[in-house]
């Protein structure tokens, strides 16, 4: 692959990723801004202006539904799958598992319990920071009705987590392990908002989790 072909392929992949981010956020202006920056970077020393870059970005984003190719979609799928595998591997290592299935169950159990304990808006804000494949799992079976769920005490919350775990797993250990992984990937501000939306009697799940800052 020559230099020009590689640059064109990389640009297409970037635009496809920006399109996916737009579909998740609904913020077309931010997506266009990202594309305009990429246009600027790609033209290098070629003549151009900031206004011209923005106009080109608007043209690209307007045509997105017609220009996102199958190869770009395949690239996005591969990247999404790789990111999901990376998260699961971190959970395996954190909790001492030896297979991704247990890691997946642990992540699902904790995310569902946390999700249902959050107000709808906060739940959606957390979902926006998850890998796209994990987002699908996060929303599986979810309904915005009667949220957040009321939880009387920590034991009741742990029962919710344990309901989706194989027998023999300690739900508190699993919850704290998954939270450690989440704090490596989710912004510190979002983690703070999640914790703030938990009542005092449930914040014990963070007691042994070192606070991660960026």
Our CA angle for 161, 165, 170, nearest 5°, is: 75
> What does the pLDDT profile of the chain (214 residues) look like in tens digits?
444 444 455 566 666 677 777 766 667 888 888 888 888 888 777 888 888 888 888 888 887 766 665 555 565 666 777 888 999 999 999 999 988 999 999 999 999 999 999 999 999 999 989 988 898 889 988 888 889 998 889 999 999 999 999 888 999 999 999 999 999 999 999 999 999 999 888 888 887 654 443 3
Final residue belonging to a domain, choices 68, 87, 109: 68
Q: Are residues 39 and 136 in the same domain?
A: no
Q: Are residues 88 and 185 in the same domain?
A: yes
> Taking Cα atoms as reference points, which of 202, 120, 192, 207 lies closest to residue 161?
202
CB atoms within 10 A of CB 70: 7
Q: What does pTM read for this prediction?
A: 0.65
CATH of the domain at 137: 1.10.490.110
Total count of domains within the chain: 2
The dihedral over CA atoms of 7, 11, 14, 18, expressed in degrees to the nearest 10, equals 170
Final residue belonging to a domain, choices 28, 44, 68: 68
d(CA 174, CA 161): 9
Where does 26-162 have alpha helices with state H?
A: 28-43, 50-62, 64-67, 70-95, 100-116, 120-127, 132-139, 154-162
Residues constituting the chain: 214
- Is the separation of the CB atoms in 182 and 191 below 8 Å? yes
> Taking Cα atoms as reference points, which of 136, 105, 138, 107 lies closest to residue 122?
138
Q: Are residues 21 and 122 in the same domain?
A: no
Angle, in degrees to the nearest 10, between helices 132-139 and 100-116: 60
Final residue belonging to a domain, choices 43, 68, 93: 68
Q: Are residues 31 and 112 in the same domain?
A: no
Domain residue limits at 98: 76-206
In a domain, 212, yes or no: no
Share of the chain above pLDDT 90, in %: 40
- Is the separation of the CB atoms in 36 and 53 below 8 Å? yes
Q: Are residues 153 and 199 in the same domain?
A: yes
Q: Are residues 113 and 142 in the same domain?
A: yes
Q: Are residues 117 and 175 in the same domain?
A: yes
């Amino acid at each position: 692959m020559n230099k020009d072909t590689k640059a064109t392929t990389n640009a297409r992949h970037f635009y496809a990723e920006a399109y996916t981010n737009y579909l998740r956020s609904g913020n077309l202006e931010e997506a266009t801004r990202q594309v305009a920056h990429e246009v600027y970077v790609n033209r290098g020393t070629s003549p151009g202006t900031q206004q011209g870059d923005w106009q080109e970005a608007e043209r690209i984003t307007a045509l997105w539904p017609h220009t996102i190719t199958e190869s770009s979609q395949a690239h996005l799928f591969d990247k999404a799958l790789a990111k999901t595998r990376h998260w699961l591997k971190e959970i395996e290592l954190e909790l001492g598992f030896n297979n991704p299935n247990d890691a997946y169950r642990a992540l699902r159990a904790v995310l569902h319990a946390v999700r249902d304990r959050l107000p709808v808006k906060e739940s959606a804000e957390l979902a926006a920071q998850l890998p796209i494949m994990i987002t699908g799992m996060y929303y599986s079976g979810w309904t915005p009705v009667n949220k957040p769920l009321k939880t009387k005490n920590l034991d009741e919350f742990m029962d919710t987590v344990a309901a989706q775990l194989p027998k023999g797993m300690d739900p508190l250990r699993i919850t704290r392990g998954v939270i450690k992984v989440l704090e490596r990937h989710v912004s510190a501000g979002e983690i703070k908002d999640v914790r703030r939306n938990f009542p005092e009697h449930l914040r014990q799940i963070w007691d042994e989790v070192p606070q991660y800052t960026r």
